[in-house]
Structure 1
Amino acid sequence: MLEQLKTLSYGDEPGLRFALKLDGQGGCSELTMAQLCDWKPQDGIVWFHFERDHPATAEWVAKKGGLDPLVAEALLAEDSRPRVEPVGDGLLIILRGLCAAPPEEEENPSEDIDLVPLHAWVDERRLVTLRDSGHYITALRDIRLALENGIGPKQTGELLALVADKLVRDLEPVLDEMDEEADELDEMIFQDDAGEVRQRLKLLRRRSVQLRRYLAPQRDALNRIEHDDADWLTERDKLRFREVIDKLMRFIEYLDSIRDRTAILHDDLSTVISERIARNSNRLSALAALLLPPSLVAGLFGMNVGGVPGVHETWAFVVIVGFVAITSAATLLVLRRMHWL
């Protein structure tokens, strides 16, 4: 199957990533920008994908797309929080998808994880999607591959459900990687550098919080789509949305679990650091106790005043050294019985 997939081209026209006309049999044909401007609902079901921040996109959405002015303004806005708003017989949708490397850079993908806002307008005859330039969403690429090879969605509702499904699907490897990193940090706490563990733990916790901040409203948005009364949403489409919502809820619970694990790991790390500090403090205290008798004797006999005993006796030094040795040994014995050493 992979050998039969076609090579895709992106962005041949300014602002337009691709424009597809669905044939209702799982396949599609490509449209140009000129054909895009002449499209009418009776011409068939279409999927237009634009760069949101390109001037050509703004011109088409605002003037040539036949969209409601409020819808056009929302599609071009910076707002990226997931939400769904019914407008007439269509839906204004903002979701988030995993950013991937562009096709020409797939051999050296970025290690950063980024959730890209996807703005969309969907009705019975068309799906219009927009994302910022410089970002690539694997979910859309996979659906276009399927369409160009005759195994894609046939109707608008099916296409929208597939987009939502693949947006959520692409999050699973990220969550698995985060869980593996939590396991690795759990093992590193008791054997590696605490500074490195603390830094990685902080990044992991921040990433889990950031992902959950977008996935929770995305779940609510998909739930609104499932319960919408649009005629072009079939029961099969709604069933698929329910499955996507269930999967998304599991991912959110997964993120909560990772966040709780990072809190526990942080407590464990703090405990390990406290134990190390206490152990080092005990060692320093024991060393100070061992050095106390010699320091006291040296201080007494080192005073530059008259009356210091043994100043003129040759045996005095030997006696003092013996006394220091005996007192140090006695101090060491006491510290061992007190379990300080």
Structure 2
Amino acid sequence: MDDIVPDKSAAEIKASAAQAPGVVLVFDGKGGVKPVPPDAETVVVPPKGFMLISGNSKSPEFKMWLKSELGPFNADALTVLSTRSRCTVLDDKAVVVLRVARPGAKTDDLGRQLLGIWLEKGRVIVASELNIPEFLGFANWAQSHYAPVSPADLVARLGLRASDRIEPLIEHLGDSIDTIEEELMLEHSADSRAKLAHLRRTLIGFRKLLWPQRDVLNTLEIEDLSFFSGRDRARLREASSRTARLGDELQALSERAVLIHEQIMDSRAEQMNRSMLVLAAVTVVFTPLTVLSGIFGMNVPIPYADDPHAFWVVMGLLIAVAGLCIWWMRARKWL
């Protein structure tokens, strides 16, 4: 079957790792790490250590190597584009797929990169367009002697780095919501509704990126893999908690966006009510004036029709009636 991992001895695995078309790093399990030279014939891994093999998921050579190492099914699981993060356990091995924000991504155009991880005892294979040593900070590890001590620790750090990529974008979304709120307080809300609608769509995209990643790390933590220690599970739990915290921030921003939308709708309703109130007041004031002017405009003989002062008397009466209507509506707090 294509989904069966080819059986290989430890010596064959170490020899094939040296020939992998990518970057090979050896971790000693004590915080140390060193690269494997490209001309090495085999890889020497300390008893408590493990190795990381990282290659470009778009490279044909690396894809061929993955198929020879893991089988066509598992190789495709690491390299074929996926819309969501996921975790699949196969015997005592795991396939983990994470989505990472591209460097320099904008909140309104969140570019994502696939991070496929093959996890087994003593070996981690990462297929991605990312430069994994740079993404993880290999140079700092070599100097500080603070490299991952286990495969699970490495996956946890990958999850934390993915969270680091997206955290500034979430902060930018918070700043955008603050700006919209300030515009509403200053009553400069002509385009606030359009901005808010765009922001809410962006928040939905971020949540689709974060929540599956949290579930992936949670699933990996509780799986019964023989090479996971208590410390490994704690590290995975820490990475999951960090992702969940960012998810909670997104949830809070979404709730704020809903409240702002309700505030915008209330403001629009209040403006509509004010307009209707003005129209109603004008109607109330002019209705009696229309009645009086209609009476005096009838084509029948009326008193004082020949009086030269009758027009001004009628105008004064109309003004008095209008003033009385306005006073009455103000007294009842309608205006």
Normalised-by-shorter TM-score class? 0.7 to 0.9
SS in 1 for 2:334: coil
| Alignment correspondent of 2:66 | 61
Task: Normalising by structure 1, report the TM-score.
Answer: 0.75
**Alignment CA distance shift 1:327-1:23 (3 Å):** closer
Structure 2 distance, partners of 1:232, 1:69, is 25
Show CA shifts across 1:215-257 (max 9, x none): 3332221122223343443332222112122223333333333
Long gaps (5+) in structure 1? 1-15, 102-108
One of 120, 123, 126 as aligned partner of 1:123: 120
Alpha-carbon spacing, 1:137–1:168, altered in 2? closer, same or farther (3 Å): farther
Larger displacement relative to structure 2 (221-230 or 177-186): 177-186
Q: 1:111 to 1:253 in 2, by over 3 A?
A: closer
User: Over aligned residue pairs, what C-alpha RMSD do you find?
Assistant: 3.4
Quote the residue 2:86 is aligned against: 83
**1:70 aligned onto 2:76:** no
Instruction: Indicate conservation of the 8 Å contact 1:45/1:125, yes or no.
Output: yes
Q: Is the 8 A contact 2:98 2:114 kept in 1?
A: yes
Aligned mate of 1:266, from 261, 267, 272: 261
> How many percent identity over aligned positions?
21
Q: Aligned runs of 1:294-309 on 2, under 5 Å?
A: 294-302=289-297, 305=299, 307=301
Q: Which residue of 2 aligns with 1:337?
A: 331
- Superposition deviation, residue 48 in structure 1: 0.9
Report whether the alignment pairs 1:201 with 2:201: no
Residue 274 of structure 1 deviates from its aligned partner by 1.6
Aligned mate of 2:209, from 198, 208, 214: 214
Q: How many residues align?
A: 308
* Distance of 1:159 and 1:281 partners within structure 2: 64
Q: Relative to structure 1, is the Cα distance of residues 39 and 295 closer, same or farther in structure 2, using a 3 angstrom cutoff?
A: farther
Tell me, yes or no, if the aligned pair for 1:116 and 1:137 is still in contact at 8 Å.
no
Q: Helix, strand or coil for the counterpart of 1:339?
A: coil
Q: 1:223 to 1:267 in 2, by over 3 A?
A: same
- Name the structure 2 match of 1:96: 99
Alignment match, 2:221:
226
Summarize the Cα distance change of 1:165–1:246 in structure 2 as closer, same or farther, 3 Å threshold: same
Separation of aligned partners in 1, 2:330 and 2:133: 66
TM-score, with length taken from structure 2: 0.76
Query: Take 2:51 and 2:100, find their aligned partners in 1: how far apart are those partners?
Result: 23
Does 2:158 correspond to 1:153? no
Instruction: Indicate if the aligned counterparts of 1:283 and 1:340 stay in contact, CA closer than 8 A.
Output: no
Match of 2:240, as an amino acid? I
What letter matches 2:66 in structure 1? V
* Partner of residue 16, structure 2: none
CA 1:201–1:99 in structure 2 vs 1: closer, same or farther (change >3 Å)? Answer: same
Per-residue CA deviation, residues 67-112 of structure 1 (Å, 9 max, x unaligned), is 12211121232323121112244211111223222xxxxxxx6454
2:55: which partner in 1? 49
Q: 1:245 aligns with which of 232, 240, 246?
A: 240
1:317 CA displacement = 1.8
Q: After TM superposition, give the deviation of residue 178 of structure 1 in Å.
A: 3.3
